[in-house]
Structure 1
Amino acid sequence: MNDAVVLAEVWRGPIPESRHRGHAVICDAGGGIRAAWGDPERVILPRSSCKMLQALPLLESGAGADLTSEQLALACASHVGAAMHVGRVAQWLEAMGLGEADLRCGTQAPEDRTERGRLREAFEPPCQLHNNCSGKHAGFLTLGRRLGGGPDYVDPEHPVQRAVRAAFEEMCGLESPGFGIDGCSAPNFATTLHGLAHAMARLADPRGLGRAREQAARRLVAAMLAHPLLVAGEGRACSELMAAAGGRAAVKLGAEAVYVAVLPERGLGVALKIEDGARRANECAIAALLVRLGVLEAGDPLVARRLAPPVQSRRGEVVGSIRPGPDLWQEGAPL
């Protein structure tokens, strides 16, 4: 078993103050590893990074045939609970004759500052529509209408979750060793980083997956690329990095410092995990890999704020920076 390697480090002046270790894999659609750091076979919970895989049965079943690209982007989203997210999910549910009470994701205060302020001024509590996973759950409800199984669609034995697990394992090329319950109460199936990167590469190049799955993969990736703000929100790394990539990469965060990327032009998938769960480290690491893979420009302001964000004093002086680990970065050498 390979040890974790330094994927990001924090410098204060000339002193390396913190180091974040983890694992990363770049894979092609045939399952071949193009590059790896740490242990490619490390088993992880992908958390929200795998929402595209969880959405595959929605389209493969035909349940989502009439969904718009905005709705598909929301099915893959970890959004900030802004009005553009909450309103669209509410409309999606209403079109099915359902409402917020039919969701099983739980209440979450919105991260979006404008929506938080609106709720505060209106003396209105947050609801399940504000949950960052409400779009995924609207997709589950849509699939559940086709498959049946009752309202408790987050039960691991529900037809919805059995379909999700089957698609997840087939895309990763591995049987999942188990699952944990995600923050939104749905099962989150474990796999290796290699398996997760393989699944992302298959999304990037879905030829040979069968007509229904190929079309589903292409629609989901295209929806993410078309609507980066719906996938996350203003100021969020997923949205900004996709905007900077200009259609060359779909990227998705997962809790506890997981990140994946789908590179359609190159037919590659990327998966990484920071062991201590630090978001500042996984954003830096994914930006570094995407620069090296040629889909981001290091000098783009949207990229630079993730690749090498400054460490500042309380007076606003730049006193250090967060940097990709030297073995990962290799001075930006192409991959």
Structure 2
Amino acid sequence: MDIHFPADAPVVRAPGHAPVAHLVRGGVVEGIHYGSVVVLGADGTVQHRIGDIEAAFYPRSAVKPLQAVAMVRAGLPLDGELLSLAAASHSGEERHLAGTRRILELGGLAEDDLRNVPDMPFDPAVRDTWVRAGRAPSRLAQNCSGKHAAMLWTARLNDWSLPDYLDPAHPLQRAIRETVEDLTGQRVAHVTVDGCGAPLFAVSLHGLARALSRIASAAPGTAEAKVADAMRDHAEMASGASRDVAALMRAVPGLLAKDGFEGVQVAALPDGRAVAVKIADGADRARIPVAARALERAGVDPALLTGFAGQALLGGGVPVGAVRVVGEPDPA
């Protein structure tokens, strides 16, 4: 693999976040969400920035498209909805569980081979149905199960050991790290363990945006393009039927988007324009409104983004305010 490093690893420091959204109730700013935002042009240059886009941070599940690219490069023969599931933080719907079982079956594997943590489905409505049915937490229901099934199959295809596939020193994880460094254009700053048990690599917000830009704009037939096409064509498999990130991909033609825990959102267009957002306090309510405003700055038609301004803030069951992205006019 031809890997280029235009930058060393980002510095591990307390990020210098800035205000990105106000919580406005009755015309008064009740709270402030801090964070960082980067907008890249089609040529890869930074068109807009807020906060600290160069400090090391954990992209959480927003790194999954990069992990999927690494697995395709290593021989994973998936495409379509199953490849989208391999890059998913899924909702735990039956189609997600069935897809994960299918990946395991194709690889000659079993649910017991999975090493992700057992959990309930991520989607609240799906979880409620699960609980009413008396079902216990399971590795299949956990939102990263498609990725883990794909990791296992990739390891088997390469005659790598299975029980330790999550060890950062395992050949699979070394290959994923190399791909993360290749696509972000910078060396990994630190390695820890994500919530599902997989290695998690610290990069910069700028690097994450650059990586998704390269995936979304890749030439047909490449591993990057296969992942991008799968996620765009099967957005519900990469997330869930009621998830905002799937709705965002449906609303903006050609958009590739991935969310991550702790307020991370990244999105990119086929021409290479890209945005990345990190909400400092991890608040999910600010993630999509701030990302939508960043996409407007990237040149996306605002009419396509009207449904992503965030949920209304209620008082007595009546809308009395909202999350307002910094720079937008506050309601009267």
For 1:11, what is the secondary structure of its paired residue?
strand
Identity of counterpart residues, as a percentage?
38
Please, which of 138, 148, 151 is the counterpart of residue 149 of structure 2? 138
Q: Find the partner of 1:78 among 66, 69, 89.
A: 89
Hey, which of these two has a bigger chunk of helix by percent?
1
1:273 paired to 2:278: yes
Paired residues for 1:36-75 under 5 Å? 36-62=49-75, 64-65=76-77, 67-75=78-86
Following the alignment from structure 1 to structure 2, what is the Cα–Cα distance between the partners of residues 69 and 23?
33
Q: Secondary structure at the match of 1:190?
A: strand
> Aligned with 1:129: secondary structure?
coil
**Within 5 A, what are the aligned runs for 1:97-136?**
97-113=108-124, 115-136=126-147
* Unmatched runs of 5 consecutive residues or more in structure 1: none
| Pairwise CA distance, 1:61 | 2.1
Deviation at 1:104, TM superposition (A): 1.0
Determine if contact 1:3/1:39 at 8 Å carries over to the other structure. Answer: yes
What is residue 22 of structure 2 aligned with on the other side? 9
Q: Secondary structure of the residue that 1:283 maps to in structure 2?
A: helix
Residue 72 of structure 1 aligns to a residue whose secondary structure is helix
Contact between 2:279 and 2:286, CA under 8 Å: does it hold in 1?
yes
> Equivalents in 1 of 2:123, 2:57: separation in Å?
29
Displacement of 1:116 in angstroms is 3.1
**Do structure 1's residue 256 and structure 2's residue 262 form an aligned pair?**
yes
> In structure 2, how many angstroms separate the alpha carbons of the residues matched to 1:28 and 1:168?
21
The corresponding residue for 2:253 is: 246
1:220 aligns with 2:227: yes
Shift of 1:117: 4.5
What CA distance in whole angstroms lies between the structure 1 residues aligned with 2:87 and 2:126? 21
State how far apart, in whole Å, the 1-side matches of 2:37 and 2:177 are: 23
- In the TM superposition, residue 293 of structure 1 has moved relative to its aligned partner by 2.8
Deviations, residues 282-312 of structure 1 (Å, cap 9, x unaligned): 11111111233343544x5xx4453142111
User: Aligned partners of 2:132 and 2:28: how far apart in 1?
Assistant: 45
Q: TM-score, normalized by length of structure 2?
A: 0.89
**1:144 alignment partner AA:** A
Amino acid at match of 1:5: A
The 1:127–1:246 alpha-carbon spacing in structure 2 relative to 1, beyond 3 Å, is same
SS in structure 2 of the partner of residue 169 of structure 1: helix
RMSD between aligned residues: 2.2
> Does the 8 Å contact 2:288/2:310 carry over to 1?
no
1:259 to partner: Cα distance:
0.7
Secondary structure of 1:126's counterpart equals: coil
2:173 and 2:41 map into 1 onto residues whose CA distance is: 27
- State the alpha-carbon separation in 2 of the partners of residues 137 and 260 from structure 1: 21
Instruction: Identify the range of structure 1 (53-62 vs 105-114) with the bigger mean alpha-carbon deviation.
Output: 105-114
> One-letter code of the match for 2:253?
G
CA distance in 2 between counterparts of 1:252 and 1:106 reads 21
1:230 aligns with 2:256: no
